A and B are shown apart, each in its own frame.
Chain A
């Protein structure tokens, strides 16, 4: 009886969390899977059961393939720039030589993280403007006017322009996470390496990189999962256009539901996004269990 009582207090503390998680996460999630089997409109209360036809539609939807391709591009570039570049940047900022400028530089790199993505997207709308945009003006200034183009209006460059903006915004956050990880690396390791005559590059690859392995895995998977969910940037900058050239899965889902009014298919797309991101989340959990945290 006493043992049972001991369980009550933690359960009581967990009740609100369980309640809200259930209400706002798990029930809508189950509802979403359930909705994938129906044909229904945002305007109408009636639903028609259509079985697996929405899943069949998903398999032949060419926009899904374009969107998936764009999400993969997003993930690859984000991994390269947000994870590897951020690691280098963090190592540089933690270097003795740069340490005196580090506080100012950290603020500079971290500032975009604190600005709303909607504001940043509008800002970059001006940067990419083909007539008065900062980017084309800069290219003209340095004599590279032949490279100037309508960045967001060109089907080849639109998705890369969107990705570039995203990197600018997110690199600061990942850098800060790496800085925290680097600061946890025992100083003795660097001192011993210095005594042995190791240079900065060797210290980076032989000490920093292995010592921040856990942080790298986490950042890697957070970035990849984020790339599957990306919505705001392409939605505000290009709305997935021109045509479907900068479409991502989340924008396609939103457009299908709230523009084309096909809520059943939008639910199917949402399920796909969930499954993909859950898959990466599971990998993340698996990987973080294999390593050892300090």
Chain B
């Protein structure tokens, strides 16, 4: 009998332990409560300042307004975020409210069938949903169903140090050839690395590639190739595009493959490097980190290119909800994307956003307003390359970009691998 009892105790303890393990995995299904409080899991990708503090403040504000709500926040940086959110979605452990990029990134998340459709919520509250710039919904809408609320808008351009350009009588380049000439002039003026990039970040390479391909390859070809079922990547424009990228890396020096984009940005902000391809989202970072006077120009036209000469690379980021998120999470989403929050956000962070009335002369500075206007006026928008194509192919281009910079490979070799991967995807 004693033995039977001890057996029971063992089983009981084991099952309690297992129950404890399994209950933690269901925490984000929106039903988790602490006493009478509703717990909302909030996951974003800004553990760095000033945005971390901004969201911490907004969470505190929301919790004060809704005493029955407790928000558990988690934040990791860009690349880690991409990986972690995939792990969470695969385990059916999605946070209630979380950041998402648009296009293929959002589409992949949506394909998990674990993301909340927002059509009804948007229709119920047109004052809120109608106050977001209509065009920015596109990257989060699939088969007429919207799964994400765009918040930040962005564009990518060459930031240049106005003082250095003036001192050396360099005009803002209007074509790729002029850009190369300007970089040569800067090199002759003593700038060993006239343009720099943190090539350890694959996404930074992908931003270059996406824009360059959009300049040199016909858009209809890109549309076909960027679709997994039809992609072939046989257009000679890709080789030309990779040659352009390789040529640009020759101006980046040895350090580029050993530093990240943040280090490159600090070099620009310190006035050490005259040119850097950056997002408008980074205007405030540059302004805060140094006192360089800077302007920006779009990636210039490539004369013999068959693509779109003036399109702007950039796409919105926004918020998504887990399918099981509680109604309080919807309220939190509305709070995050309200005009009031957008105004405070622009003031605190400097990043441009998709909320009407969020970016004004009162909340922003002339440089950011200029960038905002460029985004609104862009003839065409090119999505971030790593979100525009299948990640397997993007990875070949990103790692290939690093290898091009270190002289380990050739554009032809990269395209051979890309074509093989595309053929495999077509057959799936």
Q: Do A and B bind each other?
A: yes
Write 8 A-B pairs (CB below 8 A) sorted by A numbering. Answer: A9-B3, A43-B109, A128-B258, A129-B263, A131-B263, A241-B200, A242-B199, A260-B391
The one of B13, B14, B408 that contacts A245, using a Cβ cutoff of 8 Å? B408
B395 & A260 in contact (Cβ 8 Å cutoff) = yes
Q: Which of A230-269 contact B (CB under 8 A)?
A: 238-239, 241-245, 255, 258-263
For B6, the closest partner residue in chain A by CB is A12
- A243/B428 in contact, CB under 8 A: no
Are B3 and A131 within 8 A (Cβ)? no
Is B258 touching A151 in the complex (CB atoms < 8 A)?
yes
Is A241 a contact of B395 with CB atoms below 8 Å?
A: no
Q: Which of B81-89, B181-189, B333-341 contacts A (4 or more CB under 8 A)?
A: B81-89
Beta-carbon contact of A153 and B256 below 8 Å = yes
Interface residue? A288 (CB, 8 A): no
Other-chain residue from A42, A243, A261 in contact with B402 (beta carbon distance below 8 A): A243
Residue B220 is within 8 A (CB to CB) of chain A in the complex: no
Please provide the chain A residues from 141 to 180 with a CB less than 8 Å away from any CB of chain B in the complex: 149-155
**Residues A259 and B83 in contact, CB atoms below 8 Å apart:** yes
A154 near B399 with CB under 8 A, answer no
With A15-B10, A150-B257 already in contact, the answer to whether A39 and B3 are too (CB < 8 A) is: no
Known contacts A39-B428, A259-B395, A260-B392; is A44 also within 8 Å of B405 by CB?
no
B60 at the interface (CB under 8 A from A): no
B2 nearest in chain A by CB position? A9
Contacting pair A261 B403 (CB below 8 A): no
Which residues of A lie under 8 Å from residue B263 when comparing CB positions? 129, 131
Q: Which residues of A contact B399 (CB under 8 A)?
A: 241-244
Contact call A129/B259, Cβ cutoff below 8 A:
yes
Residues of A within 8 A of B18 (CB): 23
Distance of A265 Cα from B28 Cα, bound (Å) = 29
**CB-contacts of B177-236 with A (<8 A):** 199-200, 202
C-alpha gap A129/B202 in the complex (Å): 18
Chain B residues closer than 8 Å to A39, beta-carbon distance: 428
Contacting pair A150 B83 (CB below 8 A): no
Is B139 an interface residue, CB under 8 A from the partner? no
Which residues of chain A from 1 to 44 have any CB-CB distance to chain B below 8 Å in the complex? 5, 8-9, 12-13, 15-16, 19-20, 23, 39, 41-44
Chain A residue nearest to B257 in the complex (CB):
A153
Answer yes or no: A112 CB below 8 A from chain B CBs. Answer: no
Q: How far does the Cβ of B21 sit from chain A's closest Cβ, in whole Å?
A: 9
A44 and B92 CA atoms in complex are apart in Å by: 11
> Interface size (A, Cβ < 8 Å)?
41
Residue in B3, B82, B255, B399 whose Cβ sees the most chain A Cβ within 10 Å: B399
A-side binding surface: helix, strand, loop or mixed? loop
B145, CB-defined interface residue at 8 Å: no
CA–CA, A5 to B200, complex, Å? 63
CB-nearest residue of chain A to B391: A260
For residue A129, which residues in chain B have a CB less than 8 angstroms away from its CB?
Answer: 258-259, 263
Among B257, B395, B428, chain A packs the most CB atoms within 10 A around the CB of: B257
Inter-chain CA distance A16–B395, complex, in Å, is 43
Closest 4 CB pairs of A and B: A153-B258, A150-B258, A153-B257, A243-B403
| B binding-site residues for A, Cβ under 8 Å | 3, 6-7, 10-11, 13-14, 18, 79, 82-83, 86-87, 89-90, 108-109, 111-113, 199-200, 202, 254-259, 263, 391-392, 395, 399-400, 402-403, 405-406, 408-409, 428
Residues from chain B with Cβ under 8 Å of A150 in the complex: 254-255, 257-259
Q: Which residues of B contact A152 (CB under 8 A)?
A: 200, 258
Q: Does A226 contact B (CB under 8 A)?
A: no
A43 near B90 with CB under 8 A, answer yes
Interface of B is mostly: helix
Q: Are B254 and A130 in contact (CB under 8 A)?
A: yes
Q: Considering the chains assembled together, what is the distance between the CA atoms of A152 and B10 in angstroms?
A: 51
A258 lies within 8 A of B14 (CB) = no
Q: Which residues of B contact A20 (CB under 8 A)?
A: 14
Interchain nearest-CB distance for A73 vs B (Å): 17
Cα-based distance from A8 to B428 in the complex (angstroms): 54
Contact of B200 (CB < 8 Å), options: A9, A13, A239, A244: A239
Are B200 and A153 in contact, CB atoms less than 8 angstroms apart? yes
A258 to B108, CA, bound (A): 13
Centre residue among A13, A128, A259 by max chain B CB count within 10 A: A259
Cα distance A149–B10 when bound, in Å? Answer: 59
In this complex, the member of A128, A131, A154 whose beta carbon has the largest number of chain B beta carbons within 10 angstroms is A131
What residues of chain B lie closer than 8 Å to A23, measured between beta carbons?
A: 18
B87 neighbours in A (Cβ, 8 Å): 42, 258
Across the interface, A153 reaches (CB within 8 A) one of B83, B111, B259, namely: B259
Q: How far is the CA of A244 from the CA of B396 in the complex (A)?
A: 10
B residues within 8 A CB of A15? 7, 10-11, 14
Cβ–Cβ contact B3 & A8, under 8 A: yes
Bound-state Cα–Cα, A15 to B406, Å: 55
CA distance A23 to B14 in the complex (A): 12
Contact A261 B259 (CB under 8 A): no
State whether A242 touches B257 (Cβ < 8 A). yes
Residue of A nearest to B409 (CB): A243
A243 touches B86 (CB 8 A): no
Q: How far is the CB of A135 from chain B (nearest CB, A)?
A: 11
Question: What is the CB-to-nearest-CB distance from B285 to chain A, in angstroms, rounded to a whole number?
Answer: 19
Question: Which one, B86, B90, B200, contacts A238 given CB within 8 A?
Answer: B200
In the bound assembly, the distance between CA atoms of A128 and B405 in angstroms comes to 19
Q: Which residues of chain A come closer than 8 Å to B408, judged between CB atoms?
A: 155, 242-243, 245
Which of chain A's residues has its CB closest to B82's CB? Answer: A259
Convert A187-209 into 0s and 1s, putting 1 for each residue whose CB lies closer than 8 angstroms to a CB of B: 00000000000000000000000
B392 pairs with A242, CB closer than 8 A: no
User: Which residue of chain B is the closest to A39 with respect to CB atoms?
Assistant: B428
Q: How far is the CB of B207 from chain A (nearest CB, A)?
A: 17
* In the complex, chain B residues whose CB is within 8 Å of the CB of A128: 258
A2 to B7, CA, bound (A): 18
Q: Are B89 and A43 in contact (CB under 8 A)?
A: yes
CA distance A237 to B83 in the complex (A): 17
Whole-angstrom distance between the Cβ of A45 and the nearest chain B Cβ = 8
Q: Chain A's nearest CB lies how many Å from the CB of B288? A: 20
Interchain CB contact under 8 A, A242 and B83: no
Contact, CB under 8 Å: B3 / A5: yes
State how many angstroms separate the Cβ of B423 from the closest Cβ of chain A: 13
